[in-house]
Amino acid sequence: MIARPVFVAVCGASLFVLFLPGSDVPTNVPVSDKVVHAGLFFLLALTGRWAGLSTATLAVELVLYAAASEVLQSVLPIHRDGDVRDALADVAGLAMGLVVARLVRRRALG
């Protein structure tokens, strides 16, 4: 089954993106950071459901991941700042991913 390796790859990409040192993070477009956060959690939710994780478990774990990543960004020596707005973008992306996953599943089941 390819779904689990894809989910694992997206998890790895999220770790890379969320913990990239601050000097390597592009800052030329202010809103782009929120779009990246939302898109990343959208993909985590979508691929997590595809991999068979339950909606409730996935939602709780990704909300905790969003919160923890912002706390870690503010305390690790990677020159990043934790931002509640980033966590909100994460949760918005998560919600959108779960909705799309549900719509895809309903359509597939016919």
**Residue 75 half-sphere exposure toward CB, CA atoms < 13 A:** 6
Instruction: List the chain domain ranges.
Output: 3-14+33-109
Task: Name the one residue in this structure whose structure tokens are 């890379």.
Answer: 16
Q: How many helices (H) and strands (E) does the chain have?
A: 4, 0
pLDDT computed for residue 73 by the predictor: 94
| Nearest Cα to Cα of residue 62 among 80, 72, 48, 82 | 48
pLDDT computed for residue 32 by the predictor: 85
- CB burial of 71-91 (b: ≥16 within 10 Å; e: otherwise) equals eebeeeebebebeeebbebbb
pLDDT computed for residue 33 by the predictor: 87
Q: List the pLDDT tens digit at each of the 110 positions of the chain.
A: 899 999 999 999 999 999 989 876 666 666 788 999 999 999 999 999 999 999 999 999 999 999 999 999 999 999 888 999 999 999 999 999 999 999 999 999 88
| Nearest Cα to Cα of residue 55 among 5, 6, 1, 104 | 104
Give whole-number Cα distances, 90 to 1, 35, 44, 56, 108, in Å.
27, 9, 10, 16, 27
